[in-house]
Amino acid sequence: MSKKVGLIGCGAIGTVLAEAIERKLVVCDELVVFDVDVAKAQKLKAALDFPVKIAGSVDELLASKPKVVVEAAGQQAVREYYGKLLAANVDFIVMSTGALLDLNTNTPKLHFPSGAIGGLDALSPAALAGIDEITLTSRKNPKALGKTNTQEVTLYEGYAEEAARQFPREMNVAATLALTVKPAKVKVKVVSDPAVTRNTHQIHVKWRFGEMNLQFANDPHPDNPHTSALAAWSAINLLKSQLEK
Ligand SMILES: NC(=O)c1ccc[n+]([C@@H]2O[C@H](COP(=O)([O-])OP(=O)(O)OC[C@H]3O[C@@H](n4cnc5c(N)ncnc54)[C@H](O)[C@@H]3O)[C@@H](O)[C@H]2O)c1
- Chain segment 56-89, per-residue pLDDT in tens: 999 999 999 999 999 999 999 999 999 999 999 9
User: What total number of domains does the chain contain?
Assistant: 2
CA of 234 from ligand 1 middle (Å) equals: 14
Q: Report the nearest-CA residue for atom 38 of ligand 1.
A: 11
CA of 76 from ligand 1 middle (Å) equals: 10
Q: In degrees rounded to 5, what are phi and psi of residue 116?
A: -80, 5
Residue 132 has a pLDDT of: 98
CA–CA dist 99, 161 (Å, integer) = 10
Using a 10 angstrom Cβ sphere, with 0-12 exposed, 13-18 middle and 19 or more buried, the burial of residue 132 is exposed
User: Is residue 137 located within the same domain as residue 205?
Assistant: yes
Ligand 1 atom closest to Cα of 72? 12
User: Is residue 46 located within the same domain as residue 142?
Assistant: no
CA of 128 from ligand 1 middle (Å) equals: 31
Specify the higher pLDDT residue, 225 or 241. 241
What would the mean pLDDT of 9-19 be, rounded to a whole number?
96
**Structural domain boundaries, residue 145:** 120-225
Residue 88 has a pLDDT of: 97
Peptide bond into 142 cis (omega under 30): no
- Chain segment 24-55, per-residue pLDDT in tens: 999 999 999 999 999 999 999 999 999 999 99
Residue 25 resides in a domain: yes
CA–CA dist 97, 185 (Å, integer) = 16
- Chain segment 87-115, per-residue pLDDT in tens: 999 999 999 999 999 999 999 999 999 99
Active site residue 201: yes
Q: Which of the listed residues 86, 112, 138 is the one where a domain comes to its end?
A: 112
Q: Quick check: 180 pLDDT over 90? A: yes
